[in-house]
Structure 1
């Protein structure tokens, strides 16, 4: 394990767990628009914030290596990684297994999806290990509100500004300050919308602050988490009642934070895929609520109860294709794709 390229790492404090690349590819999962808090801090090493702590992750020889950084004690102090929150490392391993949903066996799902769908089989062979993250519902929701009419690099920069302005500072890594995702109360304040507009959030500012306020005064963060236990349709209905949350954003949150593996986020791009690649005549002439339902039902019928996971694989492949040299336009995030169908309500 070569650790010299990982910022501030102490080799004795690294731990690992067995994770074959067929089960997880960090480079595909952490850069494909599911989350916006990870960056490639050195070749093959990914640093980000998870569970209110700063982590660096790396894969080598079918093992997932990780270290967790202590919060700084002094205003200008540098962080030093700690191998675990508990002496035996059980808690960080539990967090990683939960976040990457490692209890879900991916190769068997790929085989089932490929057997049902020749197009999936053709595309997926070059994109193993793409799985859906299980994120904090508040962070996932407020982040995806920022994705309308947007692309991944811009969304990532927006979320970074959001965290630096409203979030608690966790540590410095190589002089880079790293902050936690803001609390609901921080984003629900009277001046939050104005401050977000000053950060370049535009019309999204009122939706981020408005949804934070609505959750804080209503469900609360705990109530949002409890949506994991209710049926998919009910969770989506509750989410769509929040400011700035349409069907696509609600489906993203259902899939990536609320355990609704059948949720298929649909934007104009996914609609075109259904029509052009699968020959499905769905949704009429515009992306209405009926169209969302019909397209989602089409893919659920094709791929089964984890249709959202299968779509994540095809989306990742499509995103990578858009990033290849010579492709037209800048890379766009499928979950935060810049498309007319995903604008403000």
Structure 2
């Protein structure tokens, strides 16, 4: 830690009803925050290690800067081409502005909860137990990568993948104790031809191809392309927001454009696109609908019958529109509160079964990968599948015959010994 410059602990007056970091940082928005001490969270963010603590009245924060920009990575693979994070000096410390931007502290959350509760009895019933859930304003590229990794995955394993990505391709900021903290790698760090194979070796499965191909596409479009899809009312750190109008069909055009642009990237379907729109681009009306949200829609909002009996594209749109009609311009935020409230119900069971679930996911990944490759390449015919099926069946029958023969031999041996 000798090469780090520690600022003093500062405090920002904010109640737990306006921001609860223990909930906000664990509800599946960002996957890089880790516990660095008792009730302390830390993350490498914008060229510094940011550490946070919270009590009932204050958010306590401290920035830890490298003494000079770090251009080196520990033993990087040949394919890594990381860019070093430029670290601001403590004299020009913009950490407070970063926190206010990152945690989206401008809106009055208590007032928003009241508005959502007035519009929806189910929200009124469940949300008061889960106050302080804020939608983060993350870097769009980090959100995109994180949610591509979220496909058929759980929060613990997504976090492991993102950590591996940062460790292998992101600039090292410093260590807290023995724990290294790496900032998030830019798209350019994932464009080498060897990246896909290396990510597969790191356990990314079929997502390795998506991450590599999407990095190429984003890099080719230019560093500012993703930020160009942002809600003008939610600009990047340091820029002034533009004034927005009412939430109308015409006002949604920017969100729809961003959503469609993201769908052109590899590994991005409607749900991933909406997650990036909501948590990376500032489009509050984006409502990601996964199987968990679909279960909430069935249980609490009378979906699941007639033409909406399964989660099709039409049902996805119907659920999202239902929530937008209920909660308005920040529907994605309100939906995330309910999503978090529902996650809490199952948290103990999820923790207890995490290893078992990960094993099952690995099997599913291989099945999905084979299926995707068949669809993309188109080389597996029905005849070939039948031949393969017969071969498996024949091998099973042969094995069964061997087992039977071994059984008969064992019986004869036993009778011979008995004589």
Q: TM-score, normalised by structure 1?
A: 0.86
Choose which of 169, 173, 176 in structure 2 pairs with 1:173.
176
Q: Distance in 2 between matches of 1:221 and 1:295?
A: 34
Secondary structure in structure 1 of the residue aligned to 2:31: coil
Q: Deviations over 1:155-205 (max 9, x none)?
A: 101111111111111101101111111121111111110110010000000
Q: CA deviation at 1:284?
A: 3.0
From 210, 225, 241, give the equivalent of 2:227: 225
**Equivalent in the alignment of 2:320:** 296
Task: Tell me the SS of whatever aligns to 1:104.
Answer: coil
Deviation at residue 246 of structure 1 after TM alignment: 0.3
Larger helix percent: 2
Alpha-carbon contact 2:5-2:65 (below 8 Å) kept: no
Q: Which residue, 333, 336, 339 being the options, matches 1:312?
A: 336
**Deviation at residue 288 of structure 1 after TM alignment:** 2.6
Matched, 1:206 2:201: no
Listed as ranges, the gaps of 5+ residues in structure 2 are: 74-87, 233-252, 356-360, 373-419
Q: Pick the structure with greater CA Rg.
A: 2
Q: 1:116 aligns with which of 116, 119, 127?
A: 119
- Could you tell me which residue of structure 2 aligns to residue 81 of structure 1? none
CA-CA distance at 1:144 after TM superposition: 0.7
**Structure 2 partner of 1:93:** 96
Which residue is 2:155 aligned to?
Answer: 152
Please say if residues 171 and 178 of structure 1, whose CA atoms lie closer than 8 Å, have aligned partners that are also in contact. Answer: yes
CA contact (8 A) 2:303 2:309 kept: no
Deviation of 1:330 after TM superposition, in Å, equals: 4.3
Shift of 1:153: 0.5
Hey, what's the Cα distance between the residues in 1 that align with 2:271 and 2:337?
Answer: 17
Distance 1:163 1:330, change over 3 A: same
Using the TM superposition, give the Cα deviation of residue 139 of structure 1 relative to its aligned residue in structure 2, in angstroms: 0.7
CA offset digits 1:277-315 (Å, max 9, x no partner) = 111357634433222211100111111111111111111
In structure 2, C-alpha distance between the alignment counterparts of 1:327 and 1:96, rounded to whole Å: 29
Query: CA contact under 8 A between 2:195 and 2:212: conserved in structure 1?
Result: yes
Distance in structure 2 (CA, Å) of the matches to 1:61 and 1:85: 31
Q: Runs of 5+ in structure 1 lacking a partner?
A: 1-7, 77-83, 332-336
CA distance in 2, matches of 1:63, 1:221: 36
- Going from structure 1 to structure 2, the CA distance change for 1:163 and 1:97 (only over 3 Å counts) comes to same
Q: Determine if contact 1:187/1:213 at 8 Å carries over to the other structure.
A: yes
TM-score, length of structure 2 as denominator length: 0.71
Q: Once the 2 structures are TM-superposed, how far is the Cα of residue 325 of structure 1 from its aligned partner?
A: 5.6
2:289 to 255, 263, 266: 266
Please state how far the C-alpha of 1:120 moved relative to its aligned partner.
Answer: 1.0
Structure 1 residues 326, 35: CA separation in 2 closer, same or farther (over 3 Å shift)?
Answer: closer
Tell me what 1:255 maps to: 278
- CA contact under 8 A between 1:184 and 1:216: conserved in structure 2? yes
Verify the 8 A CA contact 1:169 1:180 in the aligned structure 2.
yes
8 Å Cα contact 1:225/1:258 also seen in 2: yes
> Which is bigger in relative contact order (C-alpha 8 A, separation at least 6)?
1
Cα deviations by residue, 1:208-249 (Å, 9 ceiling, x for unpaired): 11101101012x231100101471100000000000100000
Give the alignment of 1:8-23 within 5 angstroms.
Answer: 13-23=8-18
Paired residue for 2:137? Answer: 134
Deviation at 1:326, TM superposition (A): 9.3
Equivalent pair of 1:15/1:65 in contact (CA under 8 Å): yes
Aligned-residue offset at 1:85: 4.1
User: Following TM superposition, by how much is the alpha carbon of 1:104 offset from its aligned partner in structure 2, in angstroms?
Assistant: 0.9
- Cα distance change of structure 1 residues 111 and 296 upon mapping to structure 2, 3 Å threshold: same
Runs of 4+ in structure 1 off by over 4 angstroms are 72-76, 325-331
Asked whether the 8 Å contact 1:72–1:170 carries over to 2, the reply is no
Q: Would the aligned equivalents of 2:44 and 2:173 in 1 still touch at CA under 8 Å? A: no
CA shift digits 1:120-171 (9 cap, x unpaired): 1111111110010000000110111000000000110111111111111110
CA distance in 2, matches of 1:49, 1:117: 38
- Is the partner of 2:49 in helix, strand or coil? strand
Which residue among 68, 71, 74 is the counterpart of 2:63? 68
SS of corresponding position for 1:109? helix
